[in-house]
Copies of this chain bind each other. A is one copy, B any other.
Amino acid sequence: MHKQGLLIVISGPSGAGKGTICQELIKKNQNICLSVSCTTRQPRTGEQHGVNYYFVSKLEFEEMIKNNKLLEYAKVYDNYYGTPIGYVEEKLNTGKDVILEIDIQGALQIKEKYPQGVLIFVVPPTLSTLRQRLADRKTDSQETINKRLNCVCQEMTNIAKYDYLVVNDEVEKALSQVEAILIAEKCRPSRFDINKFLES
Q: Does chain B have a CB within 8 A of A181?
A: yes
Interface flags for A176-188 (1: CB within 8 Å of B; 0: not) read: 1101110111011
| Residue with the highest number of chain B CB atoms closer than 10 Å, among A123, A153, A183 | A183
Q: Does chain B have a CB within 8 A of A76?
A: no
Are A128 and B200 closer than 8 Å at their CB atoms? yes
- State the majority secondary structure of interface residues on A: helix
How many chain A residues touch B (CB < 8 A): the figure is 35
When distances are taken between beta carbons in the complex, the residues of chain B under 8 Å from A180 are 179-181, 183-184, 187
Chain A positions near chain B (C-beta within 8 angstroms) = 120-121, 123, 125-128, 153, 156, 159-160, 162-167, 176-177, 179-181, 183-185, 187-190, 192, 194, 197-200
25 A-B pairs within 8 Å (CB atoms) are namely: A123-B192, A126-B197, A126-B200, A127-B198, A156-B194, A156-B197, A156-B198, A159-B189, A159-B194, A162-B189, A163-B188, A163-B189, A164-B188, A164-B189, A165-B187, A165-B188, A165-B189, A165-B192, A167-B192, A176-B183, A180-B183, A180-B184, A181-B187, A183-B184, A184-B185
